[in-house]
Structure 1
Amino acid sequence: MRAVLRRPDFRWLFAGLFFSMTAESMLVLALAIWVKDLTGSDGLAGATILAVVAPIMFAPLLGYVVDRFRRRPFLVATLAGSAVMLTLLLAVHDRGDLWILYTVAVCYGLSYILVSASLNGLIKEVIPEHLLAEANGALQTVRQGLRLAGPLVGAGLYASTGGWGLAALGMAGFLIAALVISMLKVREAKPVPSELHWLTEVGAGLRHLTGDPAMRRTLTGNVIAILVFGFSESVFFAFVDEGLHRPPAFLGVLISAQGVGGLLGGLTAAWLVRRVGEIASVAIGIALFVPCFVASLTPHLWLAFPSVIVAGFGLPYIIVAWMTLMQRKTPGELMGRTSAAMDAMLSGPQTLAIGFGALLVEAVDFRLLLIVMSVVMTVSAAYLWAGRRLTPPSGELAQPVQDEPVGDGGPVRQREGVV
């Protein structure tokens, strides 16, 4: 990680994203709490999360839009637009303004997709291939670290200021991020308009994602896992209530413990990817959740805390390896559409799994669901591990040509060979 942080170009990007990720980490939970406070309805509060997720159905089209612009200015404009969007929160006073909160939630969902797609393309432009895992690991370390405090800070800020403080701090985070990233020096060629029909262009990201053997296997393995992993949103409420006999708020303590593992996982993810390759890293990340599910079959605090910490390592391993593989395998002009297609292919099954899990946990014992989750996640990890040779460790790949940063961060780069 030190190697990538020594690069002035990445430090500008890293600093800007720290502010935007801080704003993001506070926003979603606080919006749901705000809706609950105005309406008293758990269902309407839960619908806030649905409003954030709903724009994923437009992800391929949004990726097409991203690929028609240079990455840095598009990312800066999206971050600035996110700040402007939050000004709507200043107009919320009572239940009659509920539509404003849902509008902001939908706009945030759109912003998240656009930022993710443009960021993946920008990282590919700024960072040489042999440092992609380190760059993704550094960003995941910050994101996982913010999971420890961000939601609590956002909830506390809403409780103490009534919402205007949440809006103000969120706007400040996005604006500072836009300002810092605007100072990044990167040479980007202007995208060349395609002569293909726009519908063909929209689907290009999905065709690329499923056409490459390594990405196809990684996507398939992740979808298998997500089909049951989404159950955990409901299963662990039952685990805390019926198993540990604790109040629902105790789940926040377990999530914080998982965040500790996530922070450590972010710090070690790049090392793991270099050591075993991307597909094997995703397999290991998924497998690390299985001990948590198995330990939860016999609910005890002395088992719960270490097992959720171990599971915490898994998420950054999965994300860093997946992002690195996608960035490495995807041409720059296709990054937006491929990134958006990946979001759609993973978020769709996850949303269905969350809803299905909420129904199942009311009908069957949560332990039975944990058994099903353990078996399916093990199958997913085994399937991915069997395909690990599609992405060999970086030690088996060609050595990259050394990059020399020039001036205030504009890199002069000799492109290394395709890995």
Structure 2
Amino acid sequence: MPKAAAASGGPLRSPAFRWFFAGLSISMAGSFMSPVALAFGVLAITDSAAWLSAVTASAVVATVATMLFGGGIADRYRRDSVLRLTGLGAGVTQAGVAALLLTHQHPALLLPLAAGNGVFQGLTTPALRGIVSNLVAGRDLQTASSLLASARNVTRILGPTAAGLLTASVGGGWAIAADAASFLLAAACFSRISLPAPAPRGKDGPTMLADMREGWRYFRSRPWIWSVTLAFAVFNAANRGVWQILGPVIAHDTIGAAGWGLVLSAQGVGALLASVVLVKVRLMRRPMMPALFSMALATLPLVLLGAGANTFWLAAASLLTGVAVEFFTVVWETVNYTNIPERLLSRVGAHDEFWSTVSLPVGQMSAPVLAAAFGAATVAATGGGVAAAAMLLVALVPSLRRIEINHDDAGVPSA
């Protein structure tokens, strides 16, 4: 797919990147309100970890199920068009979720709407993984990733706190409604981007299925990609899945919605600090080892949650986690942009997202069952330990030690 012209002087000099930056920032502002609002909204009408697990998992399952298809679409068609359509769909489905929460309907009605929203998220994610390389190139890639990370982290700070306050005062439905509006506003911003149309495909050109197989062949032939993906499959099931379900359940009986929102916002503060630094500071040439070690530290909040830590210590650990996760995120995105051909970015990224996320519903659905059998505290502490071990073990893969970032490269490999 042809690249959009990158303006000199940094990615924000490009009008297309500015509209993308604005749209994604608006969308993320609502999305970071959603987890707190949805969790406490469901708990308010059910008081059941099992229902929260079912609603959350339905969205994740739908996201995972459509992600590989989304990768094929994003590498085959204009990524800006994909983002406009998925933004509209996500806004409509999230508005339905808000209406059900505000009117206190049975939680079973949330399942199809949450799944529908998950479908649009599954189609969106691969397009987001690939479009940055259409808007900027070369030295601007890390800067663009760091700017987007900064926006993500500002919204991560403000979103959960705002959602916690809204949920505690007027209910989670209003925060979900704000998320729905953010999707629609983001779609309007993406409509201002106009990427060149992909090259015409002849009648004998590869089918969508053939394109998807090409992405799979590339993914499986690169141990430095699939080994990290495998480690994150363990991390997402043992750490993220448990955190998303047992975190609000434990907080509901201890620090409350406002305290939980503060803990989540603290992670945003740490991530923002890291992303601001990374806008100016170049990554080391071989960054994967420190990035993986940082992700092992990111399990600390779940361990402390299991140990019964108070809001202060949970927030402090969450801030450290924000720094660690953001450092890894910028490293991984930059490594991908500079080592994977642009025409394959969405398909390979879809496999990375799919195989690392497919285990998340398992963690989400098993968390309440394991908590009933062994206790929530034990499950939380054990999950954190298992996730940390996965990050440390993958650091032993030789090709990860050799993978490099070439800051002077004008683009990504062509094959």
TM-score per shorter chain, which class? 0.7 to 0.9
Q: Answer yes or no: is the 8 Å Cα contact 1:85–1:107 preserved in 2.
A: yes
Select which of 165, 175, 179 maps to 2:184: 175
> Are 1:83 and 2:95 counterparts?
no
The equivalent of 1:319 in structure 2 is 329
SS of alignment partner, residue 178 of structure 1: helix
Q: How does 1:367-406 map to 2 (within 5 A)?
A: 370=381, 373-374=384-385, 377-378=388-389, 380-384=391-395, 387=398, 388-392=400-404, 394=405, 397=406, 399-401=408-410
Cα distance in 2 for partners of 1:49, 1:134 equals: 33
Residues 1:305 and 1:83: Cα distance change in structure 2 (over 3 Å): closer
Worse-matched range after superposition: 74-83 or 300-309: 300-309
Query: Which amino acid in 2 is paired with 1:214?
Result: W
* TM-fit CA distance, 1:125: 0.8
Change (3 A) 1:86 1:353: closer
Cα separation, 1, equivalents of 2:236 and 2:95: 35
Q: Which residue of 2 aligns with 1:117?
A: 126
Q: Which residue of 1 aligns with 2:18?
A: 11
Partner residue of 1:217 out of 196, 210, 227: 227
Match of 1:51 in 2: 58
Residues 19-418 of structure 1: pairs in structure 2 closer than 5 A: 19-39=26-46, 41-55=48-62, 56-88=64-96, 92=100, 94=103, 98=107, 101-154=110-163, 156-157=165-166, 166=175, 169-190=178-199, 192=201, 195-196=205-206, 198-229=208-239, 230-233=241-244, 246-247=254-255, 249=257, 250-269=259-278, 274-289=283-298, 304-364=314-374, 366=377, 370=381, 373-374=384-385, 377-378=388-389, 380-384=391-395, 387=398, 388-392=400-404, 394=405, 397=406, 399-401=408-410
Query: Counterpart amino acid of 2:19?
Result: W
Worse-superposed segment, 178-187 or 95-104: 95-104
1: distance between equivalents of 2:21 and 2:320?
Answer: 26
Label 1:358 to 1:36 Cα distance change in 2 as closer, same or farther (>3 A).
Answer: closer
Give structure 2 stretches of 5+ with no counterpart.
1-8
Which amino acid in structure 1 is aligned with residue 132 of structure 2?
A: I
Shift of 1:341: 1.9
State the secondary structure of the residue aligned to 1:335.
Answer: helix
Determine if contact 1:204/1:338 at 8 Å carries over to the other structure. no
Q: Secondary structure at the match of 1:207?
A: helix
1:303-340 per-position Cα deviation (integer Å, ceiling 9, x unaligned)? 55433322221222232222333333333333332222
Q: Give me the TM-score of the superposition, normalised by structure 1.
A: 0.78
| Change in 2 beyond 3 A, CA 1:88/1:211 | same
Q: Are the counterparts in 2 of residues 69 and 191 from structure 1 also a CA contact under 8 Å?
A: no
Q: 1:251 to 1:29 in 2, by over 3 A?
A: closer
Alpha-carbon distance in 2 for matches of 1:177, 1:47: 28
State the distance in 2 between where 1:27 and 1:239 align. 18
Provide the C-alpha distance between the structure 2 equivalents of 1:82 and 1:350, rounded to a whole number of angstroms: 21
1:44-80 deviation digits (Å, cap 9, x = unpaired): 3332212211211232123223333111122122223
State the identity %: 22
Closer, same or farther: CA 45–237 of 1 in aligned 2, 3 Å: closer
CA distance change for structure 1 residues 7 and 347 in 2, over 3 Å: closer, same or farther?
Answer: same
Distance 1:161 1:273, change over 3 A: same
The AA in structure 2 aligned to 1:381 is L
When residues 116 and 308 of structure 1 are mapped into structure 2, their CA distance, relative to the original with a 3 A threshold, is same
* Secondary structure of the structure 2 residue equivalent to 1:67: helix
Shift of 1:360: 3.6
TM-score normalised according to structure 2 size: 0.79
User: What one-letter code is carried by the residue in structure 2 that aligns with 1:389?
Assistant: R
Unaligned runs of 5+ in 1: 402-414
CA deviations on 1:27-58 (whole Å, 9 max, x unpaired) are 34434444444455443333221221121123
CA contact (8 A) 1:260 1:309 kept: yes
Q: Report if the CA contact (8 A) 1:35-1:44 is conserved.
A: yes
Structure 1 CA distance for aligned equivalents of residues 172 and 235 of structure 2: 37
2 CA distance for matches of 1:275 and 1:299? 37
**In structure 2, distance between residues paired with 1:238 and 1:41:** 9
Instruction: State the 1:159 CA deviation.
Output: 7.0
- 8 Å CA contact retained: 2:57, 2:364: no
Q: Partner amino acid for 1:204?
A: E
Provide the C-alpha distance between the structure 2 equivalents of 1:72 and 1:266, rounded to a whole number of angstroms: 25
